[in-house]
Chains A and B, each alone.
Chain A
Amino acid sequence: MTEVTGTTWNVYDANTLTQAEIYGRVLCDLAEADARIVALTADLARSTKIGVFQDKFPQRVFNVGIAEQNLFGIAAGMAKSGLLPFVSTMSAFASMRALEQVRTDICYQNLDVKIIATHGGVSFGQAGTTHHCTEDIAIQRSLANMCVIVPADGWETANAVRAAVLRPGPVYIRLGRGFEPTHFENDDYGFEIGKAVTINEGTDITVIACGVAVYHAAEAAKLLRDQDGISVRVLDVHTIKPIDEEAIMAAVIDTRRILVVEEHNVIGGLGSAVADVIAASGKGCAFAKSGLPDCYSEVGYPEDLYSHYCIDGDGIVGQVRELLHREFEADEDWQDEH
């Protein structure tokens, strides 16, 4: 497999650029080398930050106006004709307004269309619930053939976009609005689709996270180490599908307590994907999911919403402390697993 990071790639500073801005720049790099790449959007060229691509390749941008169903249908047709379309719009529209086109035109036909879904979760906080999307991971991961990636930050976005080109078939990459803190210091940490990144080694409990929750989980782990002396493993499960079963089961066996944190409804997202793996394994563990408790999101600044829904550091700390004391039925031969 071709490396997605390394000296051949331009490096973009995730501390000064948003995830979507990095997407635009990485797409420019990719398009230089691949004449099949075109970018599509539905009147969100500015919001989804494909402006740099538009400046460089004006003839390779198709802005279809405010018509998301048509957006994804056209992308399917272009892929059928041999192009490699990158489609960017807000996650709410990519996952709900145009769901049937994404499912039937793109996934059912197993076409090489890459979807860049911006403003995921509650990252567009003040815009209100219509412009939040706390359902998309559940929706997208139920589509056969679809690969679902939720990068932790700008660095991981760069890696995910590069990796998406190398992976045949549809890929859904969910980004925030762009003002989220970054966790990684560069893009050279060994990103691979379907392989979790161990952010922090730990033995008492594992926090599994995706998206912005990765940064907050890492912060929480430091705080718990310093204040409570608790050893917290943090896994960045950036790929929701195909999910890294091996990393999840290793965490279950090593730490026996699992907290999943995501900017999503607790139903159907990363938490459910992790629960599927654990349930199928037959192993018992203490397990909790953190996210929106099956409700529509409140309005507010994202950081206030992250705090409200316990997706931030303090919220994760509280839930870890609670989960550490939860009873669960252990297997008698548990030690044999090692």
Chain B
Amino acid sequence: MPLSPEEIRSLQAKARQLRCDMVDVTVWAGGAHIGGALSMTDVLTALYYHYLNVKPAEPGWPERDRFVLSKGHGGVGLAAVLADKGYYSKDLLKEFNHFKSPFGMHLDGNKVPGVDASTGSLGHGLSMSVGMALGARFQKQSWRTYCLLGDGECNEGSVWEAAMAAHHYKIDTLTAFTDRNHMMIDGRTEDIMSLEPLAEKWRAFGWEVREIDGHDYAQIGAAIEGAQATKGAPTMIICNTVKGKGVGFMEDQVKWHYGSIDSELAAKAKASITGGAS
């Protein structure tokens, strides 16, 4: 059922709060991959606050939907979402990146409740997601697997090994997203190693492909619901996004791939977020 205007307003408000949380964690962490966390926030919000069937009080619930953050450097974003969902206290995030903290910039699934796969090295998440989805099918379970990739990550050859396999096995319980913010560490994706035509590549690999505005909840919702209804093929939702989305001075700036912010800059960032920018 499409998201109602009221649901969309609620998700947008939640996303504003989560973006502010991510700014807080970035301050506590002494630096984080804030740009790519902010660009994927709306997809994460739609998943965790509407579509994912999970029980935060029971992170290992066998029948939960799985979510794999293949762009593992977005850990600062996922950590904030999982805290808000109640997997653990947000206070724990004050130790993010600190000595012996369970939270590092790439989240460890054996230490952080709710993290379904330890990621960080790019090009690993989609293969693990294919394995999870095959595991569900083999055990005749109906849970779904969601995987979020970075666009620069799609330079990795292993992504395409997994893409081939997902099509071969016709895994329609697998839905992947590409956070298409058009940037990687060293610059714009099309300048460093061009990805376009990206949608055609995924189609050629046999995937059902949807291209959306990754900050528009009506489009995100429709794409996820379309993926859930698709039979016989995995779905790739290419989410066109803005790196640093919501924080005016960070938006579409390569330098905010990874950055540290002090409390003054954090206040400015939060003002930008709550000013209605997203």
| Interface positions of A (Cβ within 8 A of B) | 38, 59-60, 62, 64-65, 67, 69-70, 72-83, 85, 100-101, 104-105, 108-110
Contact = CB atoms under 8 A, between A and B. Distances in A.
B131 interface: yes
Contact of A76 (B108, B110, B128, B138): B128
B154 interface: no
B121 A69 contact: no
Given A67-B161, A73-B162, A108 B118 contact: yes
Chain A contact residues, majority secondary structure: helix
Contacts of B138: 38, 59-60, 78, 83
B161 A70 contact: yes
Given A67-B164, A104-B121, A104-B124, A75 B139 contact: no
Contact of A74 (B66, B110, B134, B139): B134
B212 interface: no
A78 B158 contact: no
Say what secondary structure dominates the interface of chain B.
helix
B97 to A, nearest CB: 18
Contacts of B62: 82
B273 to A, nearest CB: 33
A82 B62 CA distance: 9
A69 B162 CA distance: 9
Given A80-B66, A80-B128, 17 more contacts: A67-B164, A69-B161, A70-B158, A72-B127, A73-B124, A75-B131, A77-B134, A78-B134, A78-B138, A80-B117, A81-B135, A82-B62, A85-B131, A100-B124, A104-B118, A104-B121, A105-B117
Nearest to A74: B131
B130 A109 contact: no
Contacts of A105: 117-118, 124, 127-128
Contact of B131 (A67, A76, A100): A76
B139 A77 contact: no
B165 interface: yes
B156 to A, nearest CB: 9
A100 B123 CA distance: 10
B174 to A, nearest CB: 10
A73 B158 contact: yes
